[in-house]
């Protein structure tokens, strides 16, 4: 019973969330040519989370509606970030700053909903910090097909996404429909992040750490996506194991541990970029 209803869903949720957040992060980084982009940082997770809570408020017993709402929220957040950052000049840093603002907006929405309607998120901390301890089999059943389809479509799209590394004009020159490719990559990233949010809440930094680790090797996007799936799922399970056992008998939400790991990692990337720019 413990294995079936507690351990197994938790491990499966770790596998699926880790893989989908990592793949989502890699797609965003490639589509936006920005190694600081990730679903947590540019507000996609927060958008998905806010709409998930709205769906729980409207129809509490429907995990399918949660996924649709999460995807809608992730898409709206990504669209808002791209539109506003385009108006603000469209540089790599305006995308991140816009993402931070959009993320704050949706996080405020999440806090408002959980304050006025606490029944939408009985374990508010697990949802906003991110955790996989309370995942049910029905949530997994609803999210699994979308994550599988999202990763398969990402692999199919991989070579096109790789062409974005050439810059828009050169990619156009070799025969890529640049706008469609970029939009498809961002939509897939939103879908994967949304599915992950319905399982693990607002886990941050997985989608930043894993793609950046993998992008240190000179590889095409296809093998990088495969590595993201493998490393992302293993990483989240290991982090969850650590969060469960480090302060036994107390248990940390895995999102908290990831924030401790991810925030310094983000700062290291920032410093490395500055050093590279000076070379």
Name the site residues for other proteins (rule: CB under 8 A).
Answer: 159, 162-163, 165-167, 169-170, 172-177, 215, 218, 220
- CA distance linking residue 239 with residue 237, whole number of Å: 5
Q: Smallest distance, Å, CB 231 to other proteins?
A: 18
- Our CB check for other proteins shows the closer of 4 and 276 to be 276
- CA distance linking residue 70 with residue 59, whole number of Å: 14
- Our CB check for other proteins shows the closer of 100 and 166 to be 166
φ/ψ bin of 267: left (φ > 0), alpha (ψ from -120 to 50), beta (otherwise): alpha
Q: Smallest distance, Å, CB 162 to other proteins?
A: 7
- Our CB check for other proteins shows the closer of 172 and 265 to be 172
- CA distance linking residue 152 with residue 164, whole number of Å: 19
Q: Smallest distance, Å, CB 227 to other proteins?
A: 15
- Say how many Å lie between the first and final Cα of the chain, rounded: 58
- Our CB check for other proteins shows the closer of 29 and 128 to be 29
C-alpha distances in Å from residue 137, one per residue of 8, 141, 215, 242:
9, 6, 33, 23
Q: Smallest distance, Å, CB 149 to other proteins?
A: 18
- CA distance linking residue 81 with residue 36, whole number of Å: 14
């Amino acid at each position: 019973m413990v294995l079936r209803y507690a351990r197994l869903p938790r491990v499966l949720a770790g596998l699926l969330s880790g893989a989908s957040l990592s793949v989502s992060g890699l797609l965003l980084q490639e589509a936006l040519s920005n190694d600081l982009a990730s679903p947590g940082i540019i507000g996609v997770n927060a958008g998905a989370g806010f709409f998930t809570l709205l769906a729980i408020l409207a129809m509490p017993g429907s995990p399918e509606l949660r996924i649709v709402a999460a995807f809608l929220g992730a898409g709206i957040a990504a669209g808002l970030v791209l539109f506003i950052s385009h108006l603000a000049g469209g540089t790599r840093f305006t995308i991140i700053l816009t993402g931070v603002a959009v993320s704050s907006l949706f996080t405020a929405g999440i806090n408002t909903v959980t304050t006025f309607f606490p029944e939408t998120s009985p374990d508010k901390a697990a949802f906003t910090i991110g955790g996989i301890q309370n995942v049910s089999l029905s949530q997994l059943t609803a999210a699994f097909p979308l994550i599988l389809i999202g990763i398969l479509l990402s692999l199919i799209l991989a070579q096109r996404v790789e062409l974005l590394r050439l810059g828009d004009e050169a990619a156009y020159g070799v025969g890529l429909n640049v706008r469609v490719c970029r939009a498809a990559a961002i939509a897939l990233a939103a879908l994967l992040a949304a599915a992950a949010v319905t399982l693990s809440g607002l886990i941050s930094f997985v989608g930043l750490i894993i793609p950046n680790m993998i992008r240190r090797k000179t590889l095409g996007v296809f093998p990088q996506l495969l590595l993201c799936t493998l490393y992302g799922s293993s990483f989240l399970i290991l982090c969850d194991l650590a969060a469960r056992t480090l302060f036994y008998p107390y248990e940390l939400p895995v999102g908290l541990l990831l924030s401790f790991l991810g925030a310094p990692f983000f700062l290291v990337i920032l410093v490395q970029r500055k050093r590279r720019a000076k070379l």
